[in-house]
Amino acid sequence: MEYENAGHAFAQCIEYDDEDDPHNYYNAAQMYIGAKMKPQAKLYLQMFLAKADKLKDEKEKAKLTAKVKEQLKGK
């Protein structure tokens, strides 16, 4: 239940984040994975990929994008 609540909290952050930080989508997805909520996890993983270009740190972007693509294979 804690992962589910954390997932909802990150999802809510997105609504208030004027900069639309991709980390919020990534974090929401990770919490939904922990909560075993596959549809929500898949949605936020896909949304992260759509927003990943906004990440300024190229190393971090490559690392997170690779991890998310791997996670999507299992969904």
The pLDDT tens digits of the residues spanning 32-58 come to: 999 999 999 999 999 999 999 999 999
Q: What are the Cα distances from residue 14, in Å, to 31, 39, 66, 70, 71? A: 14, 18, 22, 23, 21
Where do the domains of the chain lie?
Answer: 2-73
User: In the numeric block, which tokens belong to residue 38?
Assistant: 């596959």
| Structure confidence at residue 59 (pLDDT) | 98
pLDDT above 90: percentage of residues in the chain: 91
Instruction: Report residue 3 as tokens.
Output: 């992962």
Q: Which pLDDT value is given to residue 73? A: 93
Cβ(10)–Cβ(31) under 8 Å?
yes
Q: What pLDDT does 74 receive?
A: 77
* The pLDDT of residue 60 is above 80: yes
- Is 90 exceeded by the pLDDT of residue 75? no
Backbone angles phi, psi at 56, to 5 degrees: -85, -35
